[in-house]
A and B are shown apart, each in its own frame.
Chain A
Amino acid sequence: MIRAEHITKSFDGRTVLDDISVEFRTGCTNLIIGRSGSGKTVLLKTLVGLHEPDSGAVWYDDRNFTALGFRERKAIRKDIGMIFQGGALLDSSTVEENIKLPLDLFTDQPEAEKRERVDFCLHRVRLEKANRLYPAELSGGMIKRVAIARAIVLNPRYLFCDEPNSGLDPQTSIVIDNLIHEITQEYHITTIINTHDMNSVMEIGEQIVYIHEGRKGWEGTKEEILHAENKALNDFVFASAMAKRAREW
């Protein structure tokens, strides 16, 4: 479980997050949705400590993350996997080195064992035989999958995904969504996903938070979202024609 309590964050006097409180459940895919620029990425980065909140606190289960020092945070970070909006693979390292890095840093496993684990994770994201390639040689979808592999290599308890399927074709998107969903259930992870894709919402949205201009606008499940009484949310949800039709059925 990850809980945000009254998170506020501003940059140069401009408020980007305004008093956000929300609880993300373990073992299910929690979605943060909202328009571009609404503050999803900032919220996610505040949850993992890449941004410090101006006020409020973030709890990882029973630990107050915001109050922890560098060393204690580092202990929690071993349990965190994150997939960044652009993949954020290290350009100067191969796919294998990218995925192996957390193992190099945090484990004393022999090389062969690490290699095996890397292969397992690559297999898990259905990307065999890409070990020797560099990020520049991968397609967008492959980058996302390598990023997922890297994020799960240490068996994280918390998984953060910033728009895992933006820029991908609809089929690949669904594959990636389902992959994350599968992993979440299989390993009982607390997964938080940023997205503005309604397809993802209908596919894997077990719990959904809607962010509107830095505030929490709505919260619920994918069954409820089509019938929510919230003008801004409705505009967001029914921006696509398909979703509109879904409501009429």
Chain B
Amino acid sequence: MLRIFELIGRYFILMGKVFSRPEKAVIYRRRILYEMEAIGLDSVGLTAIISIFIGAVITLQMCINLESPFVPESMIGYATRETMILEFSSTVVALILSGKVGSSIASEIGTMRITEQIDALEIMGVNSASYLILPKIVAAVCFFPLLTILSIGIGIVGGYLIAVATDIMIPSNYVDGILVDFKSYSIVYSLIKSAVFAYIITSVSAFFGYYAKGNSLEVGRASTRAVVVGSVVIMIFNLILTQLLLI
């Protein structure tokens, strides 16, 4: 229990270092662009693939579960859209990316720690925490909401495609469904969540990498821990944010 508080304390000390005055804006801009590519663009493919399949699967399951003369078929399109917006595209994508992005950040920074690259930065008088971590956080917080939008769109398309490909429902009913009762606030909620999750993933995994010590085994362990802790924290904040924003 004491260890958890110590860990949280150290996390906030590190964040203090991360958000202290940046060295030189030009250098940060360059690094943010680089990280946008590494963290954001490189995740587009994975997000797209997963979203299209999940959209299709949700539609299929809705078809099976809502098979009743009292429920209009358009409900299926509606349910798919709401599931994608409210939960899947922000939370599930965040969990998946916490595996992909989180582990790569933790091992990258952890390796820099044990090979003294972080020491080398410190010797040059660079605030290494800010130099290494801030661009990642900024890039992820800006890019994850875009991934979420992408995921919502592709997921809904996935549902449509499965309706077209099978005769499980009439595609035009699906289209009617996704246009029913659209609340733009749901999108806002989803985007807020994804920005918060982006911050959690990058900062938590950077934290575990930054304090790695020892050898490559320890770096591996740090990256596993980053993913586990990151995922749990995401779920906790999912609950808190839902409570705060929707209820």
Task: Give A contacts to B, CB under 8 Å.
Answer: 45, 48, 50, 73-74, 77-78, 80, 82, 84-86, 88-92, 101-102, 104-106
Contacts and interface: CB of A to CB of B under 8 A. Distances in A.
CB-based closest 5 A-B pairs: A77-B125, A88-B120, A88-B116, A74-B125, A84-B116
A45 B119 CA distance: 9
Given A84-B116, A88-B116, A91-B111, A104 B123 contact: no
A50 B124 contact: no
A105 B24 contact: yes
A104 B28 CA distance: 11
Interface string B108-121: 10011001110111
B125 A90 contact: no
Contacts of B120: 82, 84, 88-90
Given A86-B116, A88-B116, A105 B23 contact: yes
Contacts of B116: 84-86, 88
B125 A89 contact: no
A105 B124 contact: yes
30 contacts: A45-B119, A48-B123, A50-B122, A50-B123, A73-B125, A77-B123, A77-B124, A78-B125, A80-B123, A82-B120, A84-B116, A84-B119, A84-B120, A85-B116, A86-B116, A88-B115, A88-B116, A88-B117, A88-B119, A90-B112, A90-B121, A91-B111, A91-B115, A91-B117, A101-B124, A102-B124, A104-B24, A105-B23, A105-B27, A106-B125
A86 B117 CA distance: 9
A105 B119 contact: no
Interface size bracket, B side: 10 to 19
A233 B26 CA distance: 51
B117 A89 contact: yes
B115, B116, B120, B121: most-surrounded residue (chain A CB, <10 A): B120
Interface in B98-144: 108, 111-112, 115-117, 119-126
Query: Which secondary structure dominates chain A's binding surface?
Result: mixed
Contacts of B121: 90
A91 B115 CA distance: 10
A82 B124 CA distance: 9
Given A84-B116, A88-B120, 18 more contacts: A50-B122, A50-B123, A73-B125, A77-B125, A80-B123, A82-B120, A82-B123, A85-B116, A86-B116, A88-B116, A88-B117, A90-B112, A91-B117, A101-B124, A104-B24, A105-B24, A105-B124, A105-B125
Interface of B: 23-24, 26-27, 108, 111-112, 115-117, 119-126
Contacts of A50: 119, 122-123
A123 to B, nearest CB: 22
B27 A104 contact: yes
B112 A91 contact: yes
A226 to B, nearest CB: 33
B115 A86 contact: yes
A92 B23 CA distance: 19
Contacts of A104: 24, 26-27
A94 B80 CA distance: 47
Contacts of A90: 112, 117, 120-121
A104 B125 CA distance: 12
Contacts of A88: 115-117, 119-120
B115 A105 contact: no
Nearest to A51: B119
A85 B117 CA distance: 11
Contacts of A91: 111-112, 115, 117
Nearest to B111: A91
A103 to B, nearest CB: 10
A132 B108 CA distance: 21
A105 B126 contact: yes
Contacts of A80: 123
Nearest to B26: A104
A82 B122 CA distance: 11
Contacts of A101: 124
Contacts of B119: 45, 50, 84, 88
B123 to A, nearest CB: 5
Contacts of A92: 108
Contacts of B23: 105
Nearest to B24: A105
A78 B24 CA distance: 15
A106 B121 CA distance: 13
